[in-house]
Amino acid sequence: MIENAHGIILRTRPLTETSLIIHWLTPNLGRIATVAKGARRTKSPFAGKLDLFYEADFSFTRSRSSELHNLREVKSRGNNPAIRNDIVKLQQAAYAAHFIELTTETGTPLPEIYGLLGGFLKSICEQPPKPQNVFALELKLLRELGLEPGFEEKSLTAGAKKIAQTFLENDWTDISRLKLSDAQTTELRQWLHGFLIFHLDKLPRGRAAAIAT
């Protein structure tokens, strides 16, 4: 049976000399993986459609024996080109993907997290890369995971606490316009570092590079 979905590509990796494994984030099916047979061939119908953070409509048939399903068709909806032209934007997008893969299970619907990732990618394509983009993403994702930090604690100064609450309440455009001091950036980076280690046991891969702007 053929199924249809809409998703963002989180990761790709070779399977054979001619085929790729594509890891998707979708709103209704959550994270799923598909095999794009022949995708590495020059004249493949998948050519130019399967790269990191591309958004697409796609169809696939489910495997009965594994979590690798057979990709059939792909129709591109956007490719977030600015991410591939700026190494820091790419590092921030990759960190977002690693965070989602670390904290979610495959096959679980994730409409809110899908929406967050889509908004985050759009924002970093349109705005200069800043550490606050990453801090806001972390806080918004933690809230969706039921791990929202408590701001009644005395672990943040009043100014940093207000900024963190703004990250949660505002959209990406407003977040990108905020001006943080070096001291506030350092305080939020260290506070979230400790919070992530405590609740996730480790940091998602690539955090240091994503906020070193």
**pLDDT value of position 13:** 95
The pLDDT of 169-185, averaged and rounded, is 92
Report the distance separating Cα 7 and Cα 29, nearest Å: 9
**What does the DSSP 8-state code read for residue 204?**
P
Give pLDDT tens digits for 11-33. Answer: 999 999 999 999 999 999 999 99
Q: At what angle do helices 182-200 and 158-169 cross, to 10 degrees?
A: 70
DSSP assignment of 36-85? ETTTTSTT-TTTTT--TT-EEEEEEE--SSSSEEEEEEEEEEE--GGGGG
Other CB atoms within 10 A of residue 167 CB: 21
The pTM is what?
Answer: 0.93
Residue in this structure with the two tokens 């059939």, named with its chain if needed: 72
Contacts of 167 (CB under 8 A, 6+ apart): 132, 135, 136, 139, 140, 175
**pLDDT value of position 151:** 73
Among residues 91, 73, 80, which one has the least CA distance to residue 55? 80
Give pLDDT tens digits for 103-160. Answer: 999 989 999 999 999 999 999 999 888 999 999 999 999 999 999 888 766 678 999 9
What percentage of the chain exceeds 70 in pLDDT? 98
Q: Is the pLDDT of residue 85 over 80?
A: yes
**pLDDT value of position 125:** 94
Give pLDDT tens digits for 48-76. Answer: 999 999 999 999 999 988 999 999 999 99
Residue in this structure with the two tokens 């001006």, named with its chain if needed: 179
Residues facing residue 74 across a β-bridge:
58
Binning pLDDT at 50, 70 and 90, where does residue 194 land?
A: very high
**pLDDT value of position 42:** 87
CB hemisphere CA count around 210 (13 angstroms): 26
Torsion of CA 102, 3, 13, 10, to 10 degrees: -40
Binning pLDDT at 50, 70 and 90, where does residue 213 land?
A: low
